[in-house]
Amino acid sequence: MPELPEVETVRRGLEPVLSGRRIARLEQRRADLRFPLPDAFAKRVAGRRIQALTRRAKYLVAEFEGGQTLIMHLGMSGRFTISPSVGSGKMPGDFTHGTGADPKHDHVIFHTEDGTTVTYNDPRRFGFMVMAPTESIDQHPLIRNLGPEPLGNALNAGYLAARAQGRKTDLKAFLMDQRNVAGLGNIYVCEALHQARLSPKRAARCLARTNGLPTDRAERLVTAIREVLSAAIDAGGSSLRDYRQADGALGYFQHAFRVYGREDEPCTKPGCRGTVRRIVQSGRSTFFCSGCQR
């Protein structure tokens, strides 16, 4: 579900209440999400301070004092919601305790030392939380094989060209694969390909070097990925069904979608008279304009 912009938005929302704060108590309401929750989870977290809350790809990463790091993934329907401490200035009744979602799916609740609670709610339970030693976190199986962060310098046309060399898989699947680029999902792959005017059906090897130079296609794609993700983060992510920011607010980038969810609507690209189509690739919906995406 949440892709990089949504996870980054959640991280920014949680950082002020979690980073540098001690977890007084952790409430665990079931044994597992997608995978079992960490052994002795509550005991390992209680009384420990979160030294940093970062993000890698679609993972939220909480580094605890004492050498352990919690890796969290929101799956398709996971959300974190902050409830302020009593007496924080809010009027009683201003804030519904919990997530605003069905409380029967409140699975993990972090109580910070100052009384704030952070609740993880996840109806589909595709999310997960894993604890691992901080010192070797980069070698963790969930982290080890991730491709570069798309907003960092490591993603560039030369990298993409090399990575796509000889790959017959289509561009859609290539970009969805977290080993190639980390953090993209169905929505932003569709949007980035549209902006780059590339067909999702094209073989990934079209990005590879020709005459020793990265292709114009690879350049356009890198630019498009960066612009789409940056704009989405600025908008607080995209809210379709479940996604909310940590303060409960909706994201609003969904209003800026050019192709996603716009089947049969006209292409918005200036000068393009095409219509947005929906096809299925690797079992998932792809939205694109066959007029301007080649």
Partner DNA sequence: AAGAACTCCTGTTGGC
Partner DNA sequence: TGCCAACAGGAGTTCT
What is the set of active-site residues?
2-3, 58, 284
Question: If binding is defined by CB under 7 A, does position 25 make contact with DNA?
Answer: no
- Residue 75 CB, nearest approach to DNA (Å): 6
Is the CB of residue 175 less than 8 Å from the CB of residue 218?
no
| Residue with Cβ nearer DNA (144 or 273) | 144
Part of the chain binding DNA (CB under 7 A), chosen from 13-21, 81-89, 117-125, 212-220: 117-125
List, in sequence order, every residue forming a beta bridge with 130; answer none if it has no partner.
71
- Residue 242 CB, nearest approach to DNA (Å): 5
Question: If binding is defined by CB under 7 A, does position 252 make contact with DNA?
Answer: no
Question: How open is the CA angle 236-237-241, to the nearest 5 degrees?
Answer: 120
CA distance 156 to 162: 10
- Residue 103 CB, nearest approach to DNA (Å): 11
3-class SS at 51? strand
Instruction: For helices 216-234 and 157-164, give the axis angle rounded to 10 degrees.
Output: 120
Question: If binding is defined by CB under 7 A, does position 102 make contact with DNA?
Answer: yes
User: Among residues 68, 83, 239, 293, which is the contact residue for DNA, using CB under 7 A?
Assistant: 239
Q: Please report, as ranges, the residues that interact with DNA according to CB under 7 A.
A: 1-3, 6, 34, 57-58, 73, 75-76, 102, 104-105, 123-126, 141-142, 167-170, 173, 176, 178, 185-187, 237-243, 280, 282-285
